[in-house]
Structure 1
Amino acid sequence: MPIEILATKLAIPSLRMQGVPRLRLSAKLERGLNQRLSLVVAPAGFGKTTLLSTWFEQTTHAKAWLTLDPRDNDPLRFLGYLVAALQTVEPAIGQSVQQALQAAQPAASENLLISLINELHQIRQPIILVLDDYHVIEHQAVDDMLNFLLEHQPTKLHLVLATREDPQLPLARLRARGQLNEIRVADLRFSLAESGEFLRNVMGLQLPDQAIAKLEARTEGWIAGLQLAALSLQGQPDPSSFIETFSGQHQFILDYLLAEVLQHQSAEIQTFLVQTSMLERMCGPLCDAVLNQTTSQALLEQIDQANLFVVALDQQRYWYRYHQLFGDLLRQRLTQQANPQQLAGLHQRASAWYQQQGLLLEAFQHATAAHDYQQAERLMEQMPLHSNGNVSAMLNWLAGLPTSVLDQQPSLWVRFAAILLVLGQTSGVELKLQAAERGLQSLPVNLRNRDLLGQIAAARATLALTQYQIETIIQQAQRAFEYLHPQNLPFRATANWALAYAYQVRGERQNTNIALTAAINFSQQSNDTFTLILASIGMGQLQESNLELHRAAATYRHVLQLAGEQPQQIISEAHLGLARIHYQWNDLATTEQHAQQSLHLARQYEQGIDRFIVGELMLAQLKLARNDHVGAQRLLDQTEQLARQQHFSARFGEIGYWRIQLLLRQAKFAAATQLATEHQLLICQAQIALAQAKSATAIALLEPLQQLAQNWPDQRLQIELLLALAYAAQQQPEPALVALKQAIALAEPHQLIRSLLDHGSAIQQLLQLASDHGFNSPLIKHALIEFAKRQPSVQPQTHTLERLSERELEVLQQIATGLTDREIGERLYLSMYTVKVHARNIYAKLEVSNRTQAVARARTLGLLPHN
């Protein structure tokens, strides 16, 4: 029976007047012509046909097109259309096959195909043949015919298949032989730039970049999705609101996905798709658990091969997720088809599976989706608070619960308060703790409820710490120890950390060490990284106060390692500690780097947390060290204004201390005296007396403090240096040198050179006196060299050379050690380009042309010490 040929099936689809150029894909198709098969495979609406028709318009090769439909599953009909398509390029080809197909009993399809292949072998010009919509082919005999054609394909024929799913062809063999050119979803989806061009130039929508980015992300580059969104946007009075809510439930999207995708699937596949849509990601065992079946892996593989808007999440194709818009549609269908009990059951089974796998966050999320409050609470107790993902999920859930539910389960109130404290939020914490206590009053007294009372006390100790209520910290921490279960290590760690802070403020350093050691041990045993970080910072601060600067620096660096790549507010204290340490080592560049990082993190706390004040005071101290009095004044004014606005009265004394240091530099003794008296700063009063040449007054203030500070190395160092200066001012060299030697004994093991330099020329004379009396101290020698650099005499005596900046002097010192530009950059936190710029400036100012000459000239001028 003759086969009626429908001409439109052979026509190359016409292009829209204006489109988005896909030059990289056209080039890939062109490059693939030396291979047997080009496979363009993606779900509906990804522009397969448009890409190929655009390419056909551009390529110079002869080309034929065949759009397939379900009727082409008849092998002979398929062959007839195959010949007809080729005849649009070579009219004489396949005529014998056509005649055979018209016979009452056609020859076997393989024999006819052999005849066609032989004729194709004789043609002179290469032909590209596109078979569009090949996914409609389900008959094995047609697949076998195409496979036979590929196995014996003439060199002048290049075959292109456009399909929504992988065809039943030996793709792996073709791929291994280098005979397969593939374009898949990842290639076809629009990039952000292509999405913008499509929406603006093709669809005529003038949208801002932010709106385009949201649509691109929501559609995941799905071209049909973008087009349907654009159609929906036309005539919208508020495009921004529409884009915010755009989903697979919008009518155009819904109609398209239903018509083109979902309704074409079997009942089994549709049921699987809908019921697994409540999963953010899927694997065979998880789907089996949720659906109470054993065939999920095979179904997933079938769905993947059919390109049903699923995205593989790993190379092994074990985990999958649904395309966002397709997932929206499926979840809408699930809501329509399942009652609340059935939906809760799906989530509960998912929660149980995740819990068995040790994936507590996912288990918790499904328990909350099922409104299984008790299971969610049990899971929360196992989830560490320090994990960002855990904290966000728990906080969002708790914040959305009705008060009635929280009142019935007081442990939820406690968890709510603890999470807020972890996030550095104090507002509302006490109210939640009170609500938990009210709920516990009606419950029996047992181990669990006593432990909850201990947790409340530990939370109150932490809250009191943020408000500097020292006695409350101690009282609540001791109450926590009384009520907490012996195995509740995380809360015991928290209570010990808070207690350590109170002890440190009271000057009980031994008790501080005991409490911090306990906090570190408990947090390590319970894998509580958050409290481990807090306790380790406390230990670093204790080591600092004992002048164990190298140990403290190692502790702070360990804290940064514990925190990982996602900075948390709490590590601002570690950066601040490193800033203080590097300041003492006179490494001002590194000091500034850590101080800025500390300040950036501290500002992320909610209003009411004052940690940013300390960072700003560190920067003010740095400006004083660089003699930037104007900058220090501006920063101190700004810091004090913020402290007063937010009622951070606990910081007024520290601000006053650094104001006094600035006033002393400015010789404003009356204002300095007023501040020192107001804040009862005895050390500052002694400094002011020294500055006013009242050395006897200074000694009278310092000697009692010297006795009190015997067990406090940091305070002893400061007092001994001031006493040395006071005795020297009274022309008492012997007690001055005794005090200086005691200070050097404290400072030298850890190179606290800045403790000397900050006292200026007065200490310089005393250090020189000590050196002249045979006190051979490397720290004193180092300090005298630093002081010598500050003298005008160290600059070129001719005054014809320009003075080196502080940073240029630092670079020059590194050059003298023989470091490369890269090594200098790493040490000083500079780019190689910046190092080279500094080097060129140094050469110009010293009137030299290379490193060797620069170092020699610098030593001659006194800029560098002689070897």
Structure 2
Amino acid sequence: MSISILLVDDHAMFRKGLRMLLNEEEDIDVIGEAEDGEEAIKVAIELSPDVIVMDITMPNVDGIEATQRIVSKLPHVKVIPLSIHSGKRFVENMLRAGAAGYLLKESAPEELVNAIRSVHQGDICLSSAISGVVVSEYVRLLSQPNSGDDRGELSEDEGLLLRLIAEGHSVKEIAATLGSSARSVQSRRKLLISKVGVSNVAELTEYARANQWAEGKAQVNVGASQNANGAVPTASILGTKFHQPNVSRDFVSRRRLLDKLDQSCELPLTLISAPAGYGKSSLMADWLASHHERCAAWLSLSESDSDLRTFVRYLVAAVEGQFPNACHETNTILQASQLPPCCEMADTLNNDLDVIEEPLVLVLDDYHLVSDPDVHELLENLLLHPPRPLHLVLITRHDPPLSLAALRANGWLTEIRQEDLRFSRLEVQSVLEKMTGATLSDIALTHLESELEGWIVGVYLVGLLLRNQPDPEEFIAGLKRGSQQIQDYLSEEVISSQPSTVRDRLLKVSMVERFCAPLVEALCDLDDGTDAQSTGKDFIEEIRRANLFVIPLDLHGEWFRFHHLFQYLLQGQFERSTSRADIAALHLRASKWFEAEELIDDAIEHSLVIGDTKRAAEIVERHARTMMNEDNWYVVEKWLARLPDAQVMKRPELLLARAWRHYYRLNFAAIPPILKRVDALMENSLESRKLSAEVAFFRAFFEFFQGEGEKSLKHIHYALKHTPLTDHEVRAESETFLGLAGQMQGERARVTETITEWLADSSSLNLSPIRETHLLATLSFMSFIASDPMGSAGYLMRMRVVGTANELEYPLAWCDYLEGIFHLRRGEVDLAIGLLEEATKRKYSQHARAAVDALVALAIAYQRQGQTKKSDATCQALNEFVSNLGPLFQPLADACAIRLAIMRGQSNVLQRWLSLSSPPIEVMLFWFEIPCITYCRALVAEGSSASLHTAQERLSEYAAANETQHNACQLIEVLCLQAVTEEKLGNTKRAIQYLQQAVTLAQPGGFVFPFVELGAPIADLLRGLQMKEVAVEFIDRLHAAFSDSETEVEPKVSGIERTSPADQSPSRSLPKPTHQIDGVAIDALTLRELETLELLAQRLYDKEIAKAMSISVWTVKSHVKHIYEKLHVNNRRQAILQAEELGLLQGK
């Protein structure tokens, strides 16, 4: 009897790979699957398997709890954990729960097979990676009572960090909360991993949740640990932008305006528009302070946010501050190398916001600083169909370029403008009484109302000055200069009334947008301790006590800014009273401080303000590589855009950064001129080898796609030799092309050995998640090209594990795409569609060529299943996507249309396409769609003698190229087309030879789709090949695949079938249903399927059934698949129970 297995894992592809692996063993039978712990418990009770292979980290019920509950109810069942977690706590918890061993997902496949057999015999099996001292530690731990967690060993700072990790916050969110840098958070997290005894971030998260650090259960003080200056790297989120302004004690609430805001809550948009100094932000802050029951997010914008990606990143961060992970899809798009059109970005954001469960007030302060038309278009699209929970508030000095008239007409807009915000006489009186304690006469109040015109900041300036006036009435009577003159006069009076040291520091600090104590000290040389106000902290406290329009930017009293108008007035006075040289020196000092604190945008800005483009370029040179290694290349792109071209053109490192920008945007034609310029600059200089290594990589890239594998490898070896392991991006791309060029040159085994050695060093800090996934992808690419998809499957499983554990969208998108075309080529269309659908959802997180290929493959897969409407909708999505990418990808969309036309028998489309010039030959790699091959499909389908001879010539060229480049994957496609072409030309013997070569290459990987897509002509040739007893089992499987497709639209390669849409329905009806389950009809089983069902009931495995029925294993699998579909079940156990209930089994 075989060992029955239940697979439990929340990744369908991983389960699929395990099933394929285990089904190869004669004594092992996978009888069921579950995608989480809760389902595992139910299925285990139902099926009572011998062994359960169990993941740990799953939704709903995790593997630890599921194991405990299963073992308590079914003590005979053995559970083998199969996990990415190697930390001792996970092993301990699983063994305590009753597991019969512990394996890592990175283990060799045979280790799992041996473990299943061992635990079935009563042994305990641990992964070979868990040995030595670790095993001793497990024995020691298990011999002692559970001593609880290490909460007492952790400091408050560590406890706070652990709580935030447990709650699922990202590094940038934690940095914003702590007022720290992302790099600091990563460093502290690394120490915490070591301290609690786990191996990586995923395990630390599980540890934190298992020990109830989330949801406030850990007693820590949120403000316990703060960075001295709150600096964060440029690519991270600046937490000070989310701080809602405090309402000062002198503030006068304005009931009439608060009532108006109350009434606006149910509308999509409130616009507060007025010049500076009219209390716009204070009004909104006062309203929010009285509505604590409402979820509110505040975002203070700046000119640097006038970029669509930056704007959306901050907007999403503001929303997720209230609703963590609310904008998952939008965040995914933000990781893309190229953003989608504004309308699509708006739709994604709209969908994310629309499912938020509570109303959300989102305040965008200082919106007038945003100038990017794309940002305005995004909001315009968002407000076309506003998400239900969202109430958007725009605070601005002038009206934004939105369709305000349409919003008014729809009743979706509340407006508060300058005339609404003007202080009334009573409000002026109330403010001045609070500030001075004096009661002014009606004459004085009337005069102030007339002169200030309700200008709120002016009222506060008057209040500050009245405190020191011997005769307030006389002072007010003297204000007769007009509003602008009064503004200048009042501000100068307020500033000049301060002590000289305070005044000097006010003017200097006004030159930066925000300030903290260390920055004040750097700008004002406050480090000699000569007076009581010698520290930055003392200075800030002094100006706050004086009510000099200082606005806190965080909850911890570290970062501040001046009211914008007051800052403007300070800057004006400073520029009038200070020499240009001194101003330049101050900006230089600020630039140096910001760079030291890794606030690179500010550092660049202060250099550019004084025209020091040389220093700005040097700053970018020093920090661009770090950003690229963190996959934030778009930040580098933004920096480069700010530099004068003259500075970039004389700096090789910046030119290469620009080359990388073109590389990631797939603008390859722009790179060679840059390389030529770099060569000229480096000719007579002692540039580092690292730069020459980057040049070598680009040369290798171009040589590879010219089919020059040997030359490409030579340059790649140079690039790898001189590129540091810490230079992740350049290294990863070079390693990828080492694999591709090595495969092209027939050196797959050697290169695979090299890459496998790199991957085996999993403890090395040099194996970052980005590099690891690149290496795994490279091995997968090579396997695909070599027509070894089974080898690729193992690499993709590990790649998905690493990508999931580290929240990396890019490798996950590659996994969905590669696994999708893997299943499609194997003829497993249902599985392919599910994966390709996921891949197309991630199209903006994917390499553009792969994203386009996924859409093509999905359209073909839908058509293969007869789902013409879905195929057409996918084609439309493909054309829209391609139109945004540019003309480079249009041939792929055109080729997809031709391929579908061939499948549907639409000759008019073919004639138009064949009249155009044929696509050029290319290095074909593993892509599903190759336009030059599809052009030959069209020639063969057209079928004229001239077309066939043209196809014959081109296909011969393509076959030779793919043989030279060791590309078995595409050679299969070409050989199949060559077989049909020769058959139509009457060369049957040659056709059989080509077909035999194709079958030989396709058999190891089970590639059936290249044959089935060509339809009847191939099927006829296969019968002739079958008579020669070549690859009998595989040809048997091909015939089964052709049998599956008989109910679908028959592809007409031998001549275009002219059909109407009505004719494109299944060509043969199914047998009449003979049974029903819960009202659902079950198709009658064939005799061979009933015979197979009888043998399934005897618990025989596929090879035994094949032997008993004298058929191939593939035919057995086809029969089993049809049985599952007709009985509406998912596994053997369910099929047998269903058959018994329906009386389909003999003697039952």
TM range (shorter): 0.5 to 0.7
Are the counterparts in 2 of residues 458 and 476 from structure 1 also a CA contact under 8 Å?
yes
Are the counterparts in 2 of residues 588 and 622 from structure 1 also a CA contact under 8 Å?
yes
Distance 1:508 1:52 in 2: 66
Distance 2:487 2:1088 in 1: 84
How has the CA–CA distance of structure 1 residues 335 and 470 changed in structure 2, closer, same or farther, with 3 Å as cutoff?
Answer: farther
Q: Which residue of 2 aligns with 1:551?
A: 794
Q: Which residue of 1 aligns with 2:781?
A: 541
Structure 1 residues 399-442: Cα deviation after superposition (integer angstroms, max 9, x where no partner): 34334433443222222222332454435322222222222223
Are the counterparts in 2 of residues 559 and 574 from structure 1 also a CA contact under 8 Å?
no
How has the CA–CA distance of structure 1 residues 449 and 20 changed in structure 2, closer, same or farther, with 3 Å as cutoff?
Answer: same
2:976 is equivalent to residue 683 of structure 1? yes
Shift of 1:671: 0.8
For structure 1, the residue ranges without an aligned partner over 5 or more in a row are 1-11, 26-42, 55-185, 232-249, 745-752, 795-808, 819-854
Distance 2:584 2:417 in 1: 27
2:529 is equivalent to residue 291 of structure 1? no
Shift of 1:378: 5.1
Are the counterparts in 2 of residues 458 and 480 from structure 1 also a CA contact under 8 Å?
yes
How has the CA–CA distance of structure 1 residues 777 and 645 changed in structure 2, closer, same or farther, with 3 Å as cutoff?
Answer: same
Q: Which residue of 2 aligns with 1:164?
A: none
Distance 2:586 2:815 in 1: 46
Q: Which residue of 1 aligns with 2:736?
A: 497
How has the CA–CA distance of structure 1 residues 374 and 406 changed in structure 2, closer, same or farther, with 3 Å as cutoff?
Answer: closer
- Between structures 1 and 2, the one with greater helix share: 1
Aligned counterpart in structure 2 of residue 597 of structure 1, from 834, 841, 846: 841
Are the counterparts in 1 of residues 587 and 607 from structure 2 also a CA contact under 8 Å?
yes
SS at match of 1:385: helix
Aligned counterpart in structure 2 of residue 701 of structure 1, from 994, 1013, 1031: 994
Shift of 1:323: 4.8
Letter paired with 2:659: A
How has the CA–CA distance of structure 1 residues 44 and 658 changed in structure 2, closer, same or farther, with 3 Å as cutoff?
Answer: closer
Q: Which residue of 1 aligns with 2:682?
A: 440
Are the counterparts in 1 of residues 696 and 715 from structure 2 also a CA contact under 8 Å?
yes
Letter paired with 2:839: A
Are the counterparts in 2 of residues 354 and 362 from structure 1 also a CA contact under 8 Å?
yes
Q: Equivalences for 1:468-867 in 2 at 5 Å?
A: 473-474=712-713, 476-481=715-720, 491-505=730-744, 508-513=747-752, 533-542=773-782, 545-548=788-791, 550-558=793-801, 560-561=803-804, 564=807, 572-580=813-821, 584=828, 586-587=830-831, 590-601=834-845, 610-629=849-868, 632=871, 646=887, 655=896, 658=899, 662=903, 671=941, 677=952, 678-679=954-955, 681-686=974-979, 699-705=992-998, 713=1005, 729-730=1023-1024, 735=1029, 738-740=1032-1034, 771=1106, 773-774=1108-1109, 780-787=1115-1122, 860=1142
Structure 1 residues 465-486: Cα deviation after superposition (integer angstroms, max 9, x where no partner): 6788756644542453576579
How has the CA–CA distance of structure 1 residues 640 and 366 changed in structure 2, closer, same or farther, with 3 Å as cutoff?
Answer: closer
Are the counterparts in 1 of residues 823 and 832 from structure 2 also a CA contact under 8 Å?
yes
2:459 is equivalent to residue 459 of structure 1? no
Q: Equivalences for 1:102-251 in 2 at 5 Å?
A: none
How has the CA–CA distance of structure 1 residues 534 and 283 changed in structure 2, closer, same or farther, with 3 Å as cutoff?
Answer: same
Shift of 1:286: 3.0
Distance 1:672 1:519 in 2: 50
How has the CA–CA distance of structure 1 residues 631 and 709 changed in structure 2, closer, same or farther, with 3 Å as cutoff?
Answer: closer
Q: Which residue of 1 aligns with 2:672?
A: 430
Shift of 1:385: 0.5
How has the CA–CA distance of structure 1 residues 789 and 355 changed in structure 2, closer, same or farther, with 3 Å as cutoff?
Answer: same
Are the counterparts in 1 of residues 1037 and 1114 from structure 2 also a CA contact under 8 Å?
no
Distance 1:339 1:515 in 2: 62
Distance 1:858 1:521 in 2: 50
How has the CA–CA distance of structure 1 residues 47 and 377 changed in structure 2, closer, same or farther, with 3 Å as cutoff?
Answer: closer
Distance 1:253 1:612 in 2: 61
2:419 is equivalent to residue 419 of structure 1? no
Q: Which has the larger radius of gyration?
A: 1
Shift of 1:316: 2.1
For structure 2, the residue ranges without an aligned partner over 5 or more in a row are 1-250, 264-275, 288-362, 368-389, 424-451, 459-482, 528-534, 908-936, 959-973, 1051-1084, 1093-1104
How has the CA–CA distance of structure 1 residues 479 and 51 changed in structure 2, closer, same or farther, with 3 Å as cutoff?
Answer: closer
Are the counterparts in 2 of residues 519 and 531 from structure 1 also a CA contact under 8 Å?
no
Distance 1:456 1:53 in 2: 58
Structure 1 residues 673-693: Cα deviation after superposition (integer angstroms, max 9, x where no partner): 658645552123447899999
Shift of 1:614: 0.7
How has the CA–CA distance of structure 1 residues 538 and 198 changed in structure 2, closer, same or farther, with 3 Å as cutoff?
Answer: closer
Letter paired with 1:662: M
Letter paired with 1:704: Q
Q: Which residue of 1 aligns with 2:441?
A: none
User: Alpha carbon RMSD of aligned pairs, Å?
Assistant: 6.6
Aligned counterpart in structure 2 of residue 316 of structure 1, from 556, 561, 567: 556
Are the counterparts in 2 of residues 282 and 321 from structure 1 also a CA contact under 8 Å?
yes
Letter paired with 2:656: V
2:651 is equivalent to residue 409 of structure 1? yes
Letter paired with 2:790: L
Distance 1:375 1:328 in 2: 30
Are the counterparts in 2 of residues 309 and 323 from structure 1 also a CA contact under 8 Å?
yes
Distance 2:797 2:416 in 1: 43
How has the CA–CA distance of structure 1 residues 494 and 350 changed in structure 2, closer, same or farther, with 3 Å as cutoff?
Answer: farther
Shift of 1:713: 3.8
Moved more, 513-522 or 675-684: 513-522
How has the CA–CA distance of structure 1 residues 509 and 322 changed in structure 2, closer, same or farther, with 3 Å as cutoff?
Answer: farther
Distance 1:216 1:256 in 2: 32
Q: Equivalences for 1:213-362 in 2 at 5 Å?
A: 258=491, 266-294=499-527, 295-304=535-544, 308-323=548-563, 326-327=566-567, 329-331=569-571, 335-339=575-579, 341-354=581-594, 356-357=596-597
Letter paired with 2:797: A
Letter paired with 1:21: D
Letter paired with 1:397: W
Distance 1:277 1:625 in 2: 67
Distance 1:561 1:490 in 2: 20
Shift of 1:708: 6.0
Are the counterparts in 2 of residues 461 and 473 from structure 1 also a CA contact under 8 Å?
yes
Distance 1:728 1:528 in 2: 48
Distance 1:395 1:460 in 2: 22
Are the counterparts in 1 of residues 739 and 782 from structure 2 also a CA contact under 8 Å?
no
- Indicate the percent of aligned positions where both proteins have the same amino acid: 17
Letter paired with 2:523: V
Shift of 1:380: 2.5
Structure 1 residues 564-583: Cα deviation after superposition (integer angstroms, max 9, x where no partner): 47x66x86534422433565
Are the counterparts in 2 of residues 365 and 393 from structure 1 also a CA contact under 8 Å?
no
Shift of 1:296: 0.6
Are the counterparts in 1 of residues 814 and 839 from structure 2 also a CA contact under 8 Å?
no
How has the CA–CA distance of structure 1 residues 366 and 427 changed in structure 2, closer, same or farther, with 3 Å as cutoff?
Answer: farther
Structure number with greater CO (CA < 8 Å, separation at least 6) is 2
How has the CA–CA distance of structure 1 residues 621 and 213 changed in structure 2, closer, same or farther, with 3 Å as cutoff?
Answer: same
Shift of 1:267: 4.2
